Amino acid sequence: MKIYGHDPTGRWHDKVRPRNPRTELGYTRPQHAVERGVLSYRKGPVPALRHREHQSVGNLVCPLASDGRTVDMITVCGVIFRGDGSEA
Protein backbone atom coordinates (compact mmCIF):
# COMPACT_ATOMS: atom_id res chain seq x y z
CA MET A 1 0.00 0.00 0.00
CA LYS A 2 1.35 3.41 -0.89
CA ILE A 3 1.23 5.90 1.97
CA TYR A 4 0.50 8.80 -0.41
CA GLY A 5 -2.09 6.95 -2.51
CA HIS A 6 0.29 7.15 -5.50
CA ASP A 7 3.94 6.52 -6.36
CA PRO A 8 5.95 9.67 -5.47
CA THR A 9 9.16 8.53 -7.21
CA GLY A 10 10.85 11.36 -9.08
CA ARG A 11 8.53 14.07 -7.77
CA TRP A 12 9.58 17.10 -5.70
CA HIS A 13 8.95 16.68 -1.98
CA ASP A 14 6.82 19.82 -1.66
CA LYS A 15 4.54 18.57 -4.46
CA VAL A 16 4.04 15.20 -2.77
CA ARG A 17 3.61 16.59 0.78
CA PRO A 18 2.64 20.26 0.84
CA ARG A 19 4.17 22.01 3.85
CA ASN A 20 1.87 22.52 6.83
CA PRO A 21 2.06 21.91 10.62
CA ARG A 22 1.20 18.19 10.20
CA THR A 23 4.01 17.62 7.68
CA GLU A 24 6.67 19.91 9.20
CA LEU A 25 8.80 17.04 10.57
CA GLY A 26 9.02 15.74 7.01
CA TYR A 27 10.78 18.99 6.07
CA THR A 28 12.94 19.55 9.16
CA ARG A 29 14.79 16.24 9.04
CA PRO A 30 15.81 16.43 5.35
CA GLN A 31 16.91 20.03 5.87
CA HIS A 32 19.14 18.99 8.78
CA ALA A 33 20.53 16.11 6.71
CA VAL A 34 21.53 18.58 3.98
CA GLU A 35 23.00 21.14 6.37
CA ARG A 36 24.93 18.61 8.46
CA GLY A 37 25.60 15.90 5.86
CA VAL A 38 24.50 13.17 8.28
CA LEU A 39 21.98 10.33 8.21
CA SER A 40 18.79 10.67 10.21
CA TYR A 41 16.73 7.72 11.49
CA ARG A 42 13.33 7.97 13.13
CA LYS A 43 10.77 5.43 14.24
CA GLY A 44 7.54 6.62 15.75
CA PRO A 45 3.95 7.72 15.16
CA VAL A 46 2.88 8.68 11.65
CA PRO A 47 2.52 12.48 11.86
CA ALA A 48 0.20 12.82 8.84
CA LEU A 49 -2.05 9.77 8.73
CA ARG A 50 -3.55 8.89 5.39
CA HIS A 51 -4.80 5.43 6.38
CA ARG A 52 -5.99 4.64 9.90
CA GLU A 53 -4.16 1.31 9.99
CA HIS A 54 -0.79 3.08 9.62
CA GLN A 55 0.24 3.48 13.25
CA SER A 56 3.99 4.00 13.08
CA VAL A 57 6.78 4.54 10.60
CA GLY A 58 10.49 3.83 10.54
CA ASN A 59 12.48 5.88 8.05
CA LEU A 60 16.01 6.79 7.14
CA VAL A 61 17.00 10.09 5.51
CA CYS A 62 20.25 9.69 3.57
CA PRO A 63 22.10 12.74 2.22
CA LEU A 64 24.15 12.11 -0.93
CA ALA A 65 26.88 14.27 -2.47
CA SER A 66 28.12 13.71 -6.01
CA ASP A 67 31.35 15.55 -5.17
CA GLY A 68 31.72 13.80 -1.80
CA ARG A 69 31.08 16.99 0.19
CA THR A 70 28.12 19.11 -0.94
CA VAL A 71 24.75 17.39 -0.48
CA ASP A 72 22.87 17.53 -3.77
CA MET A 73 20.35 14.72 -3.32
CA ILE A 74 18.47 13.04 -0.50
CA THR A 75 16.98 9.59 -0.52
CA VAL A 76 14.42 8.51 2.06
CA CYS A 77 13.57 4.90 2.81
CA GLY A 78 10.66 4.05 5.04
CA VAL A 79 8.58 1.21 6.42
CA ILE A 80 5.01 1.74 7.61
CA PHE A 81 3.70 -0.42 10.45
CA ARG A 82 0.17 -1.36 11.49
CA GLY A 83 -1.00 -1.27 15.11
CA ASP A 84 -0.12 -4.98 15.51
CA GLY A 85 3.48 -4.30 14.44
CA SER A 86 3.20 -5.91 11.00
CA GLU A 87 4.42 -4.04 7.93
CA ALA A 88 1.71 -2.27 5.96
**Distance in angstroms (rounded) separating the CA atoms of residues 66 and 69:** 8
Q: Would you state the pLDDT for residue 1?
A: 45
Tens digit of each residue's pLDDT, the chain (88 residues): 456 677 877 888 788 888 888 778 778 888 999 999 999 998 887 766 566 666 788 889 999 999 999 999 988 888 888 778 788 7
Task: Indicate the pTM of the whole model.
Answer: 0.70
Q: Would you state the pLDDT for residue 72?
A: 92
Q: Would you state the pLDDT for residue 45?
A: 79
